[in-house]
Amino acid sequence: MGIMYSRSELKIQQIHREYSEGTIITDHSYQRRSVWLERDKIRLIETILLELIIPEIYFWDAETDADTGRTITHIVDGQQRIIAITDFIEGRFKLQKEHLIDEGIKELFADKYFQDLDSETRKMIWSFPLSIIRINNHNNKDEVRKIFYRVNLTNYSLNDQEKRHSHSWGKFADLTKEVSDLEFWDEYALFNSGDIRRMKDQEFFSTLILLARKGIIDQTTQKPMNDAYIDYSNEYNEYQEDFSLIKSWLEVFRVLYSADIKSFIRKRTQLYTFFCLIDYMVKNDISITDELKERLYDFVAKYQLFENAPNDDDFNNGYEIIKKYKLASSEGVNKLKNRKIRYELLRQYVIDGMIE
């Protein structure tokens, strides 16, 4: 028998109330993060003000308390819309004119918060009906994950990491989550809000686990990452060993870090190479001396100067390593060959002291 479902309508008022009370929830074990920008939220509210159709929202009544009858409903698809509506009602954004499309809506509602709207308009929003597809509660969470994986009703298609997160679970996914929960990442703010919103930070953490597990590998396709999520889903004997290794990398990072290199390592290509260097240092018990740190800072300073130079010919003398490194950072950055070139050049410069 296929997955059973029913169709109905719920007013925004009821959805907002249950979402605020926590009886309608987002399950972050498979749902992606909120990715809508304020512009997208404003245009959804504009659609409601125009009283046009909004795509269906998928709910799943996951569990009901036998004593109280209280049911916890999961948002299978539609969290972006529900968050946008809730944020507007609760005054978290206004209808910026520059993001509105309809001229009539601009004239009536531009730059207004929900509380600034006239009473009739607010009543209309509260009573606006949303189409609901309610998945039969006899289905299990794995089946619901599959539905979420396939259903994508916004302009934001799931990226590769969001797909893995939506239907992957197991030990590799658990370790990615455990690495991401370390306070280190908040402390050093190596990922911007866009990266975090689209789970690019999670993808990088998974890449670090692959570095710990397999060393430098080719990642020009998603296959190595997808395989890891599958291969290490049930059995991952080196879980704690790899987690400990990554935590040891972070301690070395702290010692090597300087504000002078922050802009350099905020680029994921360079951050990956930096961790390759740190991995070599940890595994070979390399002492961190002032001279080593100075060579690292010197390398970064030269690279940044060279990267921003209008004419490479101005750097003919003494910049051969930097030139080679830049070339390996320009295209095909996830190819095994280019990853190894960057790592070996950085290691030669910083560890071996081969300035040129």
Q: Where are the domains of the chain?
A: 5-152, 171-350
For residues 124 and 114, give the distance between their C-alpha atoms in angstroms, rounded to a whole number.
12
DSSP 246-304: HHHHHHHHHHH--GGGHHHHTSHHHHHHHHHHHHHHHHTT----HHHHHHHHHHHHHHH
Token pair of 78 as six digits: 């539609």
* 199 Ramachandran zone, left/alpha/beta (phi>0; psi -120 to 50): left
pLDDT at residue 193, rounded to an integer: 76
Torsion on CA atoms 289, 290, 291, 294, rounded to nearest 10: 130
Report yes or no: 288 and 255 within 8 Å, Cβ to Cβ. yes
Query: Could you give the CA distance from residue 282 to residue 262 in angstroms, rounded to a whole number?
Result: 21
CB of 204 closer than 8 Å to CB of 168: no
Cα distances (Å, whole numbers) of residue 93 to 22, 90, 128, 194, 235: 22, 8, 19, 19, 46
Cα-based distances in Å from 112 to 39, 128, 179, 209, 267: 14, 19, 42, 47, 38
Query: How far is the C-alpha of 158 from the C-alpha of 164, rounded, in Å?
Result: 10
Q: DSSP states of 179-242 as a string?
A: HHTSTHHHHHT-S-HHHHHTTHHHHHHHHHHHHHHH-S---SSSHHHHHHHHHTSS--TTHHHH
How confident is the model at residue 153, as a pLDDT?
38
The residues near 116 (Cβ < 8 Å, ≥ 6 apart) are: 94
Cβ–Cβ under 8 Å, residues 201 and 176: no
pLDDT at 75: 86
Q: Which residues contact 125 (CB under 8 A, 6 or more apart)?
A: 12, 48, 49, 89, 114, 117
**pLDDT confidence of residue 167:** 46
Mean pLDDT by groups of 10 residues along the chain of 356 residues: 73 94 78 73 93 86 74 85 95 94 93 96 95 74 60 48 55 89 92 77 92 94 86 90 97 95 93 97 96 95 81 63 92 94 96 79
User: CA dist 96 to 46, 49, 89, 110, Å?
Assistant: 11, 14, 15, 6
Length of the chain: 356
What pLDDT, on the 0 to 100 scale, is given for residue 156?
A: 46
At 9, give phi and psi (nearest 5°). Answer: -130, 145
| pLDDT attached to residue 54 | 86
Identify the pLDDT of residue 4: 67
Helices 141-150 and 160-167 sit at what angle, rounded to 10 degrees?
160
What is this structure's pTM?
0.58
- Looking at residue 71, what is its pLDDT? 81
Residue indicated by tokens 């599959």:
146
